[in-house]
Structure 1
Amino acid sequence: MKSINLREKHALFSKQWHPHQIATVDNMQVILAKIQGEFVWHAHENEDELFQVLKGTLYMKFRDRTEIVKEGEIIVVPKGVEHCPSTKNDEEVHLLLFEKQDTTHTGNVTHEMTQTDYPKI
């Protein structure tokens, strides 16, 4: 058991939209990601997702609205809810995510941005 420095872990990778696992808690995984631009619309039928913004501003798009999530804030996307994370003005946003270990990157959608391997750092 050691403490985990999130800034140091984020400094270990540069690839955007590619989650990196930093810890597991029971059947949950703690993930870091860097994002920029727009992702793909998708939903996770059986899993909730928690997003915490560590740096920047996340725009979580839903079909009926966009929620603005600022640094130090979280948003939980309930299972089955279609969503599309994005950023604006070329800002790179740093995220911490908390989700089940078997959660697929793009949920019910297969896309060129879909990642199947989350490196452990």
Structure 2
Amino acid sequence: MNPIALDDALASFDALWSPRIVTRVNDYDVRVTKVKGDYVWHVHDDTDEFFLVLDGELHIGLREAGGERTVVLAKGDVFTVPRGVFHKPSAPHGARILLFEPTGTLTVGDRHEEVPAHVDATVGHAL
């Protein structure tokens, strides 16, 4: 029950697309991760996914009924991908982000394209 400095948490690991659980709120994980390049198209069937950009710029491709679009998030921006929406995060120049999702949620969702080697398919790692 001590404060957690997010900068210190992020400095404690180098792996990209490999979130660390900094705390839990009820049945939800608060995760931080470093990202660069492209992730994988995926969907969470039963949960929304919350993104907060701590540093850098995050792009989130969305496949919606009307077609595909990309949401661009700058430092300090938040965005929630609704459950059931295919999405693909990317960060051409790198970013640091905070995620809020139910404990045990797989980072590559319930359905996804092939997972490339640089993507850590995990439910989050302990800090």
TM-score, scaled to structure 2: 0.88
Cα RMSD between the aligned structures?
1.2
Q: Which region of structure 1 is more displaced relative to structure 2, 110-119 or 50-59?
A: 110-119
Distance 1:117 1:28, change over 3 A: closer
Corresponding letter in the other structure for 1:54: L
What is the DSSP-based 3-state SS (H/G/I as helix, E as strand, rest coil) of the residue aligned with 1:23?
strand
Q: Does 1:102 align with 2:98?
A: no
Q: In the alignment, is the contact (CA less than 8 A) between 2:33 and 2:96 conserved in 1?
A: yes
Q: Which runs of 5+ in 2 are unaligned?
A: none
Instruction: Please show how residues 1-121 of structure 1 align to structure 2 within 5 Å.
Output: 1-63=1-63, 64-88=68-92, 91-107=93-109, 108-109=111-112, 111-112=115-116, 113-116=119-122, 118-121=124-127
TM-score, scaled to structure 1: 0.93
Structure 1 residue runs of 4+, over 3 Å off? none
Q: Which whole-Å CA distance do the structure 2 matches of 1:60 and 1:117 have between them?
A: 20
Q: Which whole-Å CA distance do the structure 2 matches of 1:114 and 1:4 have between them?
A: 24
State how many pairs are aligned. Answer: 119
**Greater strand share, 1 or 2?**
2
Q: Which whole-Å CA distance do the structure 2 matches of 1:4 and 1:51 have between them?
A: 19
Corresponding letter in the other structure for 1:73: D
1:102 CA displacement: 2.2
How many percent identity over aligned positions? 34
